[in-house]
Structure 1
Amino acid sequence: MGNNNGSELPDDTVAELRRNTGFTSGEIHQMYRDFKVDFPEGVITRDRFAGMYRKLFPDGCSDTFAGYVFSAYDKDGNGVIDFDEFVATLAVAANGTDEEKLQWAFQLYDLDGDGEVTRDETKEMIMAIHRMKGNKNARNDAEIITAKIFHSLDKNRDDSLSQAEFVAAVHRSPDIGNLFRGAI
């Protein structure tokens, strides 16, 4: 197989990433080299991830939102983002269909991972986004946005959205889709 001296990826890993992400071998190798420069230990820790968000949003409080995004990247739940997890998420952003992007957004909002996005989870996520951006009215704005989302999407009024309900409703309503994407 390939060279695995820590500076290059094994050939079987590259082949699997190509199949699963749509990136070329060259793109994967370049991303890996860049990843190793930025994260020589080969993983991104929660603290390091949050630090990147603090630099991007110095006027707000981004730690809560960064924690939510970190959890969405950390598919195996081991407390770090490895290169495969990093590339898988980038692939959805760069090469994913609208459906895959909506599924990722749904998973991001499903804070407890139970397959449902509740009104409270939505409000928490939107509040975290607004706090990250430095919005002093984050709680009030999150209440208003959440009410709009659930009024339009939650047809059975159970304060919960399944992934299928969410995806179907966003496809039916471009305004709500834009509102939800604007909250991500």
Structure 2
Amino acid sequence: MNRKKLQLLVDSLGQSSKHFTKSEVECLIKLFNMLVAESRSRFAAVGFDCNVFRDVLYRMFGMMDDMMMDRVFRTFDRDNNSCISVEEWVGGLAVFLRGTLEERIKYCFEVYDLNGDGYITRDEMFQMLKNSLLKQPSEEDPDEGIKDLVDIALKKMDYDHDGKLSFVDFEKAVRNENLLLEAFGPCLPDIKSIMAFEQKTFQETRKL
């Protein structure tokens, strides 16, 4: 990408991205271009696919849960074309790294709403918790323990008592108790990996 084209992209993304400075946007674009160059996928002209993205989540943020990584990819991939474009990359990272509580609530809800119908159902909770919890070999039936957790979550978060969580339920629960933001599995990076990523990306990439 030549300097002029990069500058135009930085200007346009810098205006829409309220959480990054223009020089930070430039660093994120450079990192994106490096990832695209390494990927050699069929999407190379426009971006990179789920495999490259999952590798980023694993290497840079320590994420290991396949199901969660897939869901994070779907949330970044706004136009559902199975490829992360540079706009989706910068926009997604703005919330992922520096989102307001409001933005993170919306993001986590989207991650947890597996079929995109606007609700987190009992089945969806069960699936996510089953995936993210370690199975204890001594347990007779680990599924029973997960069902109990789902019941506890519903009791605490289902304000209108309809047996599933709407966005309104989820938002209200998280605002009352911030720890419930990632109730159904880790889908946001911890502060340590955010700091490491930002230092590497914004300080080291700037030198390139």
Query: RMSD across aligned C-alpha pairs, in angstroms?
Result: 2.7
What is the alpha-carbon distance in structure 1 between the residues aligned to residue 132 and residue 47 of structure 2?
25
Change in 2 beyond 3 A, CA 1:142/1:88: farther
Residues 1:136 and 2:132 aligned together: no
Match of 1:119 among 119, 122, 134: 122
Percent of aligned pairs sharing the same letter: 27
CA shift for structure 1 position 146: 2.3
**TM-score, normalised relative to structure 2:** 0.69
Q: How many residue pairs align between the two structures?
A: 170
Residues 89-136 of structure 1 show CA distances to partners (whole Å, capped at 9, x for unaligned) of 111133321111111001111111112221222222233333xxxx22
Letter in 2 for 1:26: S
3-state DSSP of counterpart to 2:48: strand
Q: Within the alignment, does 1:156 sit opposite 2:152 as a pair?
A: no
CA shift, 1:157, in A, is: 2.3
User: What residue in structure 1 maps to residue 200 of structure 2?
Assistant: none
Distance 2:153 2:175 in 1: 13
Equivalent in the alignment of 1:31 = 28
Unaligned runs of 5+ in 2: 38-43, 137-141, 187-208
Change (3 A) 1:178 1:31: same
1:4-23 mapped onto 2 (5 Å cutoff) = 5=2, 8-9=5-6, 11=8, 13-22=9-18, 23=20
Q: State the distance in 2 between where 1:8 and 1:79 align.
A: 25
In the alignment, structure 1 residue 98 sits paired with structure 2 residue 95: no
Any conservation in 2 of the 1:7–1:33 contact (CA below 8 Å)? no
Contact kept, 8 Å, 2:173 with 2:180, in 1: the verdict is no
User: 1:44/1:159 Cα in 2 relative to 1: closer, same or farther (>3 Å)?
Assistant: farther
Structure scoring higher RCO (CA < 8 A, sep ≥ 6) equals: 2
Matches of 2:113 and 2:72, distance apart in 1: 11
